């Protein structure tokens, strides 16, 4: 793993001793073996540290571990039960209550993030049926649409930047886009959601058409990592140099490397400061 991720073995051992991560199994010959999930978590941790986060914060609670630490019975299980009892209105009411109590950004990070992860994981393990996954997705979309309608954008001191949202070709999951769109609109951004499965040429054409300052992509774990890496490399070659590329979603952890001038998001709470930076840059031109 040290060679694959470009981290010295002494550094890995120091992190394991100091922070308890990454943990390794040892063979009889005392060779360290790391589980694939640990490699993915460490890859994402390295990206976050490259973006300026401190190792002590990142390594004590890796992103994937934060998601899996949220019990399924607190997020997904009650809603599955309501759906199986033919009572989707209870799911709707619960989501609306959480949104009202926590506010949009905390709701996105602390409720929807773990919930979407749980739905995907449950579907992959065949614990969630297609009709249940689709029903929950529709409910979440409706609540997010209500949040967008009811949100009052703050008074901006700088021009509002335009942010394009999309997923790469072959990626059909859009809930992550909807979640980010709601947060961006609440912060006063001009948002153009291109939706799923967008070819690179169409993304670049849309950037020029809408005079966008940011292109934000949602990457799910369903994407093939090597293909995603190639797509991102080609995209950076075609994007205008003054356009920021933002990446988020569970598929970020599988990236071997991050393109230059790219910002990685593991939390909706980071969007406000990033958007403010783009707004300030726009006002200078």
Rounded to whole angstroms, the Cα distance separating 80 from 82 reads 5
Q: What are phi and psi of 156, to 5 degrees?
A: -85, 140
- In the numeric block, the tokens 């589980």 are attached to 35
Question: 52-62: per-residue pLDDT in tens?
Answer: 677 777 777 65
* Token pair listed for 3: 């060679």
- Rg of the chain over Cα atoms, rounded to whole angstroms, equals 20
pLDDT at 122 over 90: no
pLDDT at 103 over 60: yes
Supply the pLDDT for residue 64.
46
Q: Average model confidence (pLDDT) for the chain? A: 82
Question: 4-22: per-residue pLDDT in tens?
Answer: 667 788 888 888 877 778 8
DSSP-assigned letter for residue 70: S
Supply the pLDDT for residue 63.
47
Supply the pLDDT for residue 165.
97
Residue 272 Cα distances to 30, 83, 183, 186, angstroms: 46, 35, 9, 10
pTM for the full predicted model: 0.73
Q: What are phi and psi of 139, to 5 degrees?
A: -60, -45
The more confident residue out of 83 and 35 is 83
Averaged over 267-279, what is the pLDDT? 91
The more confident residue out of 45 and 270 is 270
The 10 Å Cβ neighbour count of residue 284 is 7
159 Cβ contact list (under 8 Å, min separation 6): 279, 282, 283
Question: 84-95: per-residue pLDDT in tens?
Answer: 888 999 999 999
Averaged over 36-40, what is the pLDDT? 73
* Token pair listed for 141: 């979309």
* Paired strand residues for 32: 26
156 Cβ contact list (under 8 Å, min separation 6): 188, 279
Supply the pLDDT for residue 154.
56
Question: 216-264: per-residue pLDDT in tens?
Answer: 999 887 777 788 888 999 999 999 999 999 999 878 877 878 888 899 9
Q: What are phi and psi of 153, to 5 degrees?
A: -60, 145
Question: 155-209: per-residue pLDDT in tens?
Answer: 555 568 999 999 999 888 888 899 999 999 999 999 999 999 999 999 999 999 9
């Amino acid at each position: 793993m040290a060679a694959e991720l470009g981290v010295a073995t002494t550094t890995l051992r120091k992190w394991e001793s100091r922070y308890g991560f990454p943990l390794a199994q040892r063979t009889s010959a005392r060779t360290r073996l790391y589980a694939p999930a640990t490699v993915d978590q460490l890859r994402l941790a390295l990206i976050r540290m490259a973006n300026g986060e401190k190792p002590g914060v990142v390594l004590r609670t890796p992103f994937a571990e934060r998601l899996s630490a949220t019990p399924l019975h607190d997020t997904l299980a009650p809603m599955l039960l309501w759906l199986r009892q033919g009572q989707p209105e209870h799911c709707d009411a619960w989501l609306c209550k959480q949104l009202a109590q926590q506010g949009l950004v905390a709701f996105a990070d602390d409720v929807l993030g773990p919930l979407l992860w749980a739905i995907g994981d449950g579907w992959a393990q065949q614990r969630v049926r297609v009709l249940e996954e689709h029903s929950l997705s529709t409910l979440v979309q409706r609540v997010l649409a209500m949040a967008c309608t009811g949100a009052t954008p703050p008074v901006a001191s700088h021009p509002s930047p335009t942010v394009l949202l999309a997923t790469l070709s072959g990626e059909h999951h859009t809930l992550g886009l909807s979640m980010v769109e709601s947060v961006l609109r609440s912060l006063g951004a001009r948002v153009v959601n291109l939706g799923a499965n967008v070819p690179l040429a169409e993304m670049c054409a849309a950037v020029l058409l809408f005079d966008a300052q940011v292109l934000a992509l949602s990457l799910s774990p369903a994407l093939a990592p090597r293909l995603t890496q190639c797509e991102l490399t080609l995209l950076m070659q075609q994007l205008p140099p003054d356009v920021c590329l933002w990446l988020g979603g569970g598929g970020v952890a599988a990236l071997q490397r991050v393109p230059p001038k790219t910002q990685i998001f593991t939390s909706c709470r980071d969007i406000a400061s990033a958007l403010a930076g783009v707004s300030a840059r726009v006002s200078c031109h």
